[in-house]
Amino acid sequence: MKAFEIRHNFLYLLTFFFIAFLLSSCDTYNFTEAQPVDKENIYVFPDEFLGKWFVDSSNDSYLVNSTNVLFIQKADEASIVKGAWPQVNAKGDYIYPPTDKHPFRSINFDSLKNPLDTVDNYLLKGDKIYEITEEGYLQKGRSYRKDNDTLTVFDNDTLLIDLGQNAFLRRLNKDLYVLNIRNDLLGYCAYNGWWRIIMLEVKQNQSITMWELNSYSRNLPCMVHYNPGKGDDLYFDCKWTTADILHLLETKYFEVSSELHREKRHSQIVK
């Protein structure tokens, strides 16, 4: 029998921040080595990066208050609907929870849509709720509020990124830097040993533009593997020089993912 299993994850792990925010598209771009290959590593943030940065229409924030540490404040909410999903109606069709909610439990069905068993997606213990991953690991406990048949989960945490051997900058020109981050720091075991790259452009109007690769990069000759359907992962064995990256930027292989601005807003970043 072929079992049908629907699983939804609700908590944006702080390490997932780099895909959901820095790398905001569905694709993830993984590199065998840091870029560009003709520049030295920079282990301190230049003065223009120091300060608090916020994203419009987002509760996420950044704080660079020392030369080698980046604080990332993640503030988010997620809704979990009670019960086991998907359900089967009288016509034999699957009924899923509302798109903005995630199931507390999931049901496995056989090929005839008969329920086989249920899977616990979350655990309630005291005043905390814990996500159970598909591998059976327990994620960090989160605060939550009961709203009738829905649980509202609060995801407020701070992630610290220390510049060093696993995260550093490389400078393209006076305004452009590439932030290289090893995937080991992001908690993705399947991607260990690979790098993520984020281009940072410092603007004179006290803003930072973040650039990421776009789907055109699938046609680049240094792409070695594309894994569609499972996060749309792309893997590259590139040895880009500074001139190569600037040319890719000019020819639209990079696109703006986010704009950060210096603003005087209340934030509860751990200092």
Residues 82 and 207 in one domain: no
User: Can you give the pLDDT at residue 182?
Assistant: 87
Residues 125 and 168 in one domain: no
Residues 256 and 172 in one domain: yes
The CB-based long-range contact list for 122-131 (8 Å cut-off, 24+ gap) reads 122/10, 122/80, 129/80, 129/153, 131/9, 131/10, 131/11
Residues 170 and 150 in one domain: no
Quote the number of domains for the chain: 2
pLDDT tens-place string over residues 3-19: 333 332 222 222 333 33
How many Cα atoms are found within 13 Å in the side-chain-facing hemisphere of 224?
A: 9
Reading phi first (left if > 0) and then psi (alpha if -120 to 50, else beta), residue 17 is in alpha
Q: Residue 209: inside a domain, yes or no? A: yes
> CA torsion angle for 262, 267, 268, 271 (degrees, to 10)?
20
Q: Residue 59: inside a domain, yes or no? A: no
Residues 221 and 166 in one domain: yes
265: exposed, middle or buried (Cβ count in 10 Å: 0-12, 13-18, 19+): exposed
Q: Residue 62: inside a domain, yes or no? A: no
**Domain boundary pick from 143, 158, 173:** 158
Name the band, by pLDDT with cuts 50, 70 and 90, for residue 187: low
**Domain boundary pick from 158, 177, 203:** 158
**Domain boundary pick from 115, 139, 158:** 158
114: exposed, middle or buried (Cβ count in 10 Å: 0-12, 13-18, 19+): exposed
Token pair belonging to 68: 């080698």
Residues 93 and 116 in one domain: yes
Q: Residue 266: inside a domain, yes or no? A: no
Range of the domain at 89: 4-8+77-158
Residues 180 and 192 in one domain: yes
Residues 127 and 105 in one domain: yes
Residues 167 and 251 in one domain: yes
pLDDT over 90, % of the chain:
31
pLDDT tens-place string over residues 199-215: 999 888 788 888 999 98
Q: Tell me the pTM.
A: 0.62
pLDDT tens-place string over residues 139-171: 888 888 998 889 888 776 665 677 888 889 999
Residues 45 and 81 in one domain: no
User: Can you give the pLDDT at residue 268?
Assistant: 39
Q: Residue 96: inside a domain, yes or no? A: yes
pLDDT over 70, % of the chain:
72
Residues 169 and 249 in one domain: yes
Q: Residue 58: inside a domain, yes or no? A: no
Q: Residue 39: inside a domain, yes or no? A: yes
